[in-house]
Structure 1
């Protein structure tokens, strides 16, 4: 049995430099606007025996970009979070998200285009199986 192999060799030229450039000026029209999403104010909390932490706040000051809602999250050993409507002024952290220890509660106001306010934070914890704690700076 005989096998015939046929091959093709292609030789490509080496790349060459070019002097091509764009020299035309382009103009556009539009407007830029700057703004901020105001953060919630007056963060407070309460907790106790069989009472998981509840954080309350005052709606952000007037002005700034239109608020579309709030996002809260936990860190420092706890995981969880959620979103709230634009007029929400409180959230109770479900006790099931907490274990013995402490962590941080973080709240931001959301605005258009994914913009968020600076966060406001508090600490929370579970001291025993039934005793919760929280504080704000």
Structure 2
């Protein structure tokens, strides 16, 4: 953590200077808590898979176990990719580039970062990307 002291009740405000040290520290802590939660969930999955009865006598039971396991592993894969994005956002906090659009350099905005702390694009750039993807997916 940095030297910036913030109260647990602190919430960034639109009235403050955008991405001041308190705001950056707030989002960095939020990202670290999120990452910790995902890692804990992943650990629970590993323990679950180790304890799972893999030699079910009934083929239906075996199929059910395999299906559940596949779903768990896909979820953990999504978590892994999300953790990579969280790590990248934490790195942007460390480099003082967090909260600014990677395409335009404009602010992403407090409300958008509260909803999606790993956001790298402002709303306008995100909409442009989504429109491009829709047009080129066909």
TM-score, normalised relative to structure 2: 0.21
Q: Larger % of helix: which?
A: 2
Q: TM-score normalised to the size of structure 1?
A: 0.21
* Structure whose alpha-carbon radius of gyration is higher: 1
